[in-house]
Amino acid sequence: MRFITNPVLTLPEGNMGETSKQLQRTVDFTYEWYGEFLDDVKAAGYTFRSFHDDLAAGDVVLRHDVDLSVDDALTMARLEADRDVTATYFVLLSSVLYNPLRGETRDALREIQSLGHEVALHFSTHEYWPTDSPPADEELEARVAEELAILETVTGDDRRLVSFHKPPQWTFARTYDGFASTYEARFFEDVQYVADSRQRWRDDPPAVEDFEDTVQILTHPGLWSDADGTFDERIEQAVTAACQTAGQTAGREFLGGW
């Protein structure tokens, strides 16, 4: 990866610069902090693009892997839309915490799209193959194609874009005939890659003033809320919410009647 300093892409002097310095010192995993972070990125002169664009200097592509909660993803999507920021939300078909085919979840994903965002596939290789036993490209593409076809029934979008869930090393810098991957070199190695995985931003806060010319930013909506919380707390909250949803739905369907 080549590090570039572009004097055009700098934060203005004054309050915004002070805000950025504050954000660099500490990270609260709150919507307030995230909103200020997006404000900083925009103030630095970056333009939000999609994975379907040819990225160039001054572009940032914003990605969300929806591991824990579609409801949290919708909250984040609304916050971004209020700032005229667009992103791509990658959803799992194999999650134990949510089901994209469920009516309310499907409606939430379509609302995310209506706000100007894209909904794409978060594909878990772990559901099919051991981490240390990569499949042949043809086998991988066949399984991805199956899940893309299912997701298309929800989104109506036939663009073939994938983010690998907890990506094995063998997915990095690879290209495939049947779909585009967020871990292709053009998105992962040829640009700066900034991610909040497992809340590591607490130890390594993203400093917008140090960003390179072109950046991919990854966040996980389930890690963010109105109030700050630890990674373990976020997981517990997601599990509790999923169990409550399952209990309420099962109660209506099998006990209360529809």
Structure confidence at residue 144 (pLDDT): 98
Structure confidence at residue 26 (pLDDT): 87
Structure confidence at residue 18 (pLDDT): 47
Mean pLDDT value of segment 83-96: 98
Structure confidence at residue 11 (pLDDT): 38
Q: What is the mean pLDDT of the chain?
A: 91
- At 99-141, the pLDDT tens digits run 999 999 999 999 999 999 999 999 999 999 999 999 999 999 9
Q: What is the largest CA-CA distance in the chain?
A: 64
CB burial of 51-88 (b: ≥16 within 10 Å; e: otherwise) equals beeebeebbbbbbbbbbbbbbbbbbbbebbbeeebbbb
Structure confidence at residue 1 (pLDDT): 31
- The reported pTM is 0.90
pLDDT band at 180 (very low <50, low <70, confident <90, very high): very high
- At 105-115, the pLDDT tens digits run 999 999 999 99
Mean pLDDT value of segment 81-93: 98
pLDDT band at 22 (very low <50, low <70, confident <90, very high): very low
Structure confidence at residue 15 (pLDDT): 40
Percent of the chain with pLDDT over 70: 90
